[in-house]
A and B are shown apart, each in its own frame.
Chain A
Amino acid sequence: MSQSPVVRLMDVSKRIGGRTIIDRVSLEVNSGEVFGFLGPNGSGKTTTIRMMVGLMALSGGDIQIAGHSIKTEFPQAITQVGAIVENPEMYKFLTGYQNLLHYARMNPGVTEQRIHEVVKLVGLSERIHDKVSKYSLGMRQRLGVAQAVIHRPKLLVLDEPTNGLDPAGIRELRDYLRLLAREEGTAVFVSSHMLSEMELMCDRVAILQKGQIIDIRSIRAAVEETTHTAENVLFEVDHPDAALGVLEGHSSGRVEDGALIVTADRSTVASINRRLVEAGINVYGIRVKSKSLEDQFLEVTAGDTIG
């Protein structure tokens, strides 16, 4: 698997009527990677996505997909892209199958067999010959995924893909995206304002605010990093104050919301636990009180005001 990025945004800007909507955004997404594009509403996520798929012209910079510029080599670039931009809008007066046929005809080399394969993949076999007007939102979302992957793109772009999905649907989508990235080496670019969702789905996330990227961070690396360093660890015990007394002289801690919080690395956690148990304190649970992406996100965008 080549490590050259599937999509590369280089100083991408968009100005509309004198206002800068997107300001010199640069990022790369590699093959086999699920990349999250995170930002509050109105930060410019959808505008960036529209530029990536050629629906909007760039005011500055360039976007390359598999080495082809979206500006000067549109057909070669876009043939590597599958996308859902905002809601998966389909022709409601056509059946699901006819909708897929419509898009299959527009990409060279998509066979009828491939259509059936994709239909099965998204679990729509039973209802594929029904009109889309009779579909639920979740079924439309599945059909949206089907049209996006039908031509085996190297880059899959999904704008707020979990909108309107129930928890089971979200989980299914998440598993499917990870599978696509792992098995077929697809680069997946997902935008969302649902932070916890991104945390579960993505390898890396970029945080966008007012049209500027303020941070790009690796989620997996962050998780690994924490296993070797001291962290805030929460002990759920029956007598937190007594527990604090037991640890006196060994570890420093505090009591917070009826639980004991200690800063410790992994081996210290084990020894603290032994001490507590030996002192006759019941330990109901131990967990790392790590910062979630949400905390980080709110921290980074703190003090943000709209406008």
Chain B
Amino acid sequence: MADFWKLVQNENMKIYRRLRTWIMLGIVIVSPLIFSTIVYGSSDVHTASNWSVMSFESTVTLALVTLFTVVASADSVAGEFSWGTVKLLLIRPWSRASVLLSKFVSLLLFGLFFSAVTFITSFLVNVLYFGYTGSPSDLDPSWVGHPWTYIGLFYLYKYISLVLIVSFSFMLSSAFRSGGLAIGLSMFLLFAGGIISGILVAFDKAWVKYVLFPHLSLTPYLEGNSPIPGHPTTLGFSLAVLAVYFVIFNLVSWSVFTKRDIAA
């Protein structure tokens, strides 16, 4: 286990020793600052609470975090092929499955780290601008719990969909060894998901609720809604659907990566 951690350390080194990672981190830190400043300057301070601004700007910033994690994941496998380094990476006393797992773990940590940075920056800047509210707030009329619970679940749901999108991009990265394709299609999944969900609602078919897209957005459950209007589903059901897609994506990544001849 200690030895496996060394593989993750290697992957981390390849992520964080690159300038672009720090540029991405800079963007993640700066964007809540810009959003909050705009809200502060343009609205009546009394109508905005630190929580409502935080959840709004976190939606945007976490989409950026997902994008950046996808970029890192696209390079993680496809990059090794285009750099040619995969030949030296795979001739070590480790199974290909272990190498792939270490890459996946490093990406989950990357997403976690960036999400945490978003949380901290966004929380601090909004408390600074709007003060701290400890009571159930104007987050959502139906929400009666503590704001911390709301924002905690909000981040958890966002992180779950990040894991799914990264699994998808990781699959494309190892199956097609094309970083560009992995980034492009994953972004499509991230941004077109809402539109496709809207179209799917129009079909009054039972299979609609088994499609991945709507379940990538779990936050409607916080307001007591379903991600697919007109198709009432439970959180447990959504998580089960996501789990099935998660397993499929990773099975494809694993089976392709562990069997294929390396001719790069």
Residues of A whose CB lies within 8 Å of any CB of B are 50, 53-57, 74-76, 78-79, 81, 83-87, 89-94, 98, 101-103, 105-108, 147
Query: Within the complex, what minimum Cβ distance (angstroms) separates A7 from chain B?
Result: 14
Residue numbers in A under 8 Å from B205 (CB-CB): none
Instruction: Let me know if A75 and B88 touch, CB within 8 A.
Output: no
Query: Is B263 in contact with A102, judged by CB distance below 8 angstroms?
Result: no
Listed in ascending order, the chain B residues whose CB lies under 8 Å from chain A are 3, 6-7, 9-10, 13-14, 17-19, 83-85, 87-88, 90-95, 259, 261-263
Given contacts A55-B87, A92-B83, contact A50 B261 (CB under 8 A): yes
Taking A50-B263, A55-B262 as contacts, is the C-beta distance between A106 and B10 under 8 angstroms? yes
Instruction: Flag if A74 contacts B95 (CB, 8 Å).
Output: yes
Give Cα distance in the complex from A86 to B9, angstroms.
Answer: 27
Question: What's the nearest-Cβ distance from chain A to residue B181, in Å?
Answer: 22
Q: In the assembled complex, which residues on chain A have CB atoms less than 8 Å from the CB atom of B17? A: 93-94, 98
* CA distance in complex: A184, B95 (Å): 28
Q: Quick one: which of A84, A94, A98, A106 contacts B94, CB cutoff 8 A?
A: A106
Chain B residues whose CB sits within 8 angstroms of the CB of A107 once the complex forms: 92-93
Out of A57, A78, A85, which one reaches B93, CB within 8 Å? A78
Q: Is the CB of B94 within 8 A of A75?
A: yes
A98 touching B13, Cβ below 8 Å: yes
Are B83 and A91 in touch, CB under 8 angstroms? yes
| Cβ-defined contact, B261 with A54, below 8 A | no
Inter-chain contact B93/A90, CB cutoff 8 Å: no
Residue among A79, A90, A105 making CB contact with B85, cutoff 8 Å: A90
B135 to chain A, nearest CB (A): 49
Q: Which residue of B lies closest to A159 (CB)?
A: B87
- A53 CA / B262 CA spacing, docked (Å): 11
Q: Is B87 a contact partner of A85 (Cβ separation < 8 A)?
A: yes
Q: Which residue of A lies closest to B90 (CB)?
A: A55
Closest residue to A148 on the B side, CB-wise? B88
The CA of A56 and the CA of B83, in the complex, are separated in Å by: 18
Which residue in chain B gives the minimum CB-CB distance to A144? Answer: B88
Nearest-neighbour CB distance to chain A for B108, whole angstroms, equals 20
A81 to B13, CA, bound (A): 24
Cβ-neighbour of A79 out of B3, B13, B19, B93 (below 8 A): B93
Given A75-B95, A78-B91, A91-B83, A55 contacting B261 (CB threshold 8 A): yes
The answer to whether B93 touches A106 (Cβ under 8 A) is yes
Set of chain B residues within 8 Å of A105, measured between Cβ atoms: 6-7, 9-10
Interface centre among B17, B18, B91, B92 (most CB of A within 10 A): B91
* Cross-interface CB contact of A103 among B9, B19, B87, B88, cutoff 8 Å: B88
